[in-house]
Structure 1
Amino acid sequence: MIADQLVLDKKTTKTTYAEDKKSEKPIRSIAKAFSWRIIGTLDTLVISYILTGKISIAASIASIDFVTKMILYFFHERLWNLIKWGK
C-alpha cells in the first residue's frame, strides 16, 4: 500500500497549489505555528520557573523561545509540505 502511494506520487506531477489540494497554504502553517508555540511557550515558562525560581527570568526565556521556535516551525512545516511521502 505504501509502495503504491510512492509509485503513484512519482507518476503524477503537481506543480501548483490549485492542482494539489493536499498542500496547505502558508497562512495555515503560520496559524499552526502560532497555536503550537502558545502551548510550547507555556511549557517553557513553567519549566523555566521551576528551574530558576524567578518569574522574570522564566518570562524572558519563554519570550525568546516563542519567537525563535515559531519561525523554525514555520520553515519546518513548509519543507515537509514539499515532501510527497505520506500524502
Structure 2
Amino acid sequence: MESGLRSMVKAVIWNVMGLLTMTIVGFLATGSVAAGGVMAVVNTAIGFGMYLFYERVWARIGWGRRHV
C-alpha cells in the first residue's frame, strides 16, 4: 500500500505539470495571461483534489497487484 505522503507528493508534482500546461493552453485559447492563469488555477485546484481522492481509492484496491 502507498503512504498518504507519497500520494500527496505525486499529486503535487502532477498538478504543477498540469498548471504549467493549462496556463499555456489558456493563454493560447484566450490571448490573455491573466485569463489563462485563472483557468489553470481553477483546473489545478479541482484536479488536485480529484487526483488525490482517486489515488487513495486505488491504493485500497488489490486487483492487479503482485505481492513479491
Do both share a fold (TM > 0.5)? yes
Gaps of at least 5 residues in structure 1 are: 1-22
1:1-16, aligned counterparts within 5 Å? Answer: none
Instruction: Tell me how many residue pairs correspond in the alignment.
Output: 65
1:22-41, aligned counterparts within 5 Å? Answer: 23-41=1-19
Range 51-60 or range 64-73, more displaced = 64-73
If you compute each CA radius of gyration, which structure gives the higher value, 1 or 2? 1
**TM superposition shift of 1:49:** 0.5
Over the aligned positions, Cα root-mean-square deviation in angstroms equals 0.7
> Following TM superposition, where does structure 1 have runs of at least 4 consecutive aligned residues deviating by more than 4 angstroms?
none
Percent identity between matched residues is: 29
Aligned residue in 1 for 2:59: 81
| Distance in 1, Cα, partners of 2:43 & 2:12 | 12
Q: Per residue, is there more helix in 1 or in 2?
A: 2
| Distance in 2, Cα, partners of 1:34 & 1:65 | 13
For the residue of structure 2 that corresponds to 1:43, the secondary structure is helix
